[in-house]
Amino acid sequence: MALTETQIAQLKTDNAGRELVTLSSKSGIEIVAKVPGLVEMAELRNRLNDKAKSGGAMEWLVRSCVVFPSREQLNEILQRKPVLIEKMYQKLEAEAGGAEELELGKL
């Protein structure tokens, strides 16, 4: 499922101004996603705080950020390997600043 140079160029054009990352597996799965921005993170927090929506919050973030493959192809991948939702969420969350170490200091 390797991306061609033409596909990469189109994804960059379609998502101009957004940072794109690739998520790939040893089994050959290749996914391109937008790094979550302020809008996506605000909606994620809203969903996590809403009991009716919290169960699907991670999946919502992943699906809202994935730009390749198509929705149908992503569904097929996740049907076969549903734990990838959590793994992709962790990678996207880390790239959006979740892996950043902060130190607290006093002035």
pTM as predicted = 0.88
* Cα–Cα distance, 86 to 88 (Å, whole number): 6
Of residues 42, 73, 77, the one with CA closest to residue 60? 42
In this predicted structure, what is the pLDDT of residue 1? Answer: 57
Domain boundaries, the chain: 5-86
Q: Which CATH class is domain 5-86?
A: alpha beta
pLDDT average per 10 residues of sequence, the chain (107 residues): 88 96 94 97 95 93 97 96 96 95 94
Bridge partner residues of 24 (DSSP) = 30
| Structure token pair of residue 102 | 């902060």
